[in-house]
Amino acid sequence: MTTREEQVCIQVDEETISGTFVTPASAMPGVLFVHGWGGTQEQYLNRAREIAALGCVCLTIDLRGHGLTEEQYETVTREDNLRDMLAAYDRLASRPSVDKSAIAVVGSSYGGYLATILSSLRPVRWLALRAPALYRDEDWHLPKWQLNKKELAAYRQTRVTPGHNRALGACDAFRGDALVVECEHDSIVPHPVIANYRAAFDNAHSLTYRVIQGADHALSEEQWQQSYTSLLVKWATEMVIVARESEKASGVQTQSAPSPRRRPPDPA
């Protein structure tokens, strides 16, 4: 493994001593996993473990209204949950071992929808969305539970452009690499929604689109769960490898300090 050296001065009482940090040449990518509405972080823990084995720092979370805060299920808003994700992103990015320029966000359904908006508020290099949901911008502060389900279902059958939807607008502005996964027999997030997302990623560096054959929205059969895990890990592997190869090609800059005056060494 290549290393980076940095000369530093260390304060001791009222004086300083010199030292040298020798660290790995690169920090690790960070990956934030966000479940869908009604789910929990348990749905992503095994996938996070597999991606962590690639050399990534992974963080799974329970959005408010889920897990230990389930009592808020009927009162939590999209704004609340977006703030959850921002706090989680900042916690992940603050870890010394995480490369702040190499952060991925993986989201399913409601979590995928919010992940796109997060990408407009924080630096995100990779976005992986499975069956990303779509909501009208109106009633943003209304509790998610109170949204009109019939109106929402009708909205998801229409053609929506980035200029008329915050999430799609964020996709249009995204310049990183994106993965969009569709479930073939999804009655919650139908094909027109996926088509809207794919069209919105027109400016992305790359867009990978996959369909899980026969799958429903919840991936209710084990084979569909395994298919999603396999394609997500494969895509993440490709992204991490490409990032590391690019880093090697660009070289590593070493910060050097002026050489101190030398004198004969003292006896030990």
Query: What is d(CA 98, CA 79) in angstroms, rounded to the nearest whole number?
Result: 26
Q: Which amino acid is at 94?
A: S
Count of CB atoms within 10 A of residue 203's CB? 12
Q: Write down the pLDDT at residue 2.
A: 58
Distance CA 245, CA 21 (A): 24
Q: What is the structure's pLDDT at 40?
A: 87
Q: Are strands 15-24 and 98-108 parallel, antiparallel or unpaired?
A: unpaired
Per the listing, tokens 């997060």 go with 118
In the chain the domains, ranked by start, together with CATH numbers, are 36-41+61-113+123-247 (3.40.50.1820)
pTM for this predicted structure: 0.84
Give the whole-angstrom CA distance, residue 36 versus residue 34: 7
Strands annotated E in 25-95:
28-34, 57-60
pLDDT in tens, the chain (268 residues): 555 566 777 776 777 656 676 655 568 899 999 999 999 888 899 999 999 988 898 999 999 999 888 999 999 999 999 999 999 999 999 888 899 999 999 999 999 999 999 999 999 999 999 999 999 999 999 999 999 999 999 999 999 999 999 999 999 999 999 999 999 999 999 999 999 999 999 999 999 999 999 999 999 999 999 999 999 999 999 998 888 777 667 654 433 334 444 444 444 4
d(CA 207, CA 228) in angstroms, rounded, equals 17
**Residue reference for tokens 């590391």:** 244
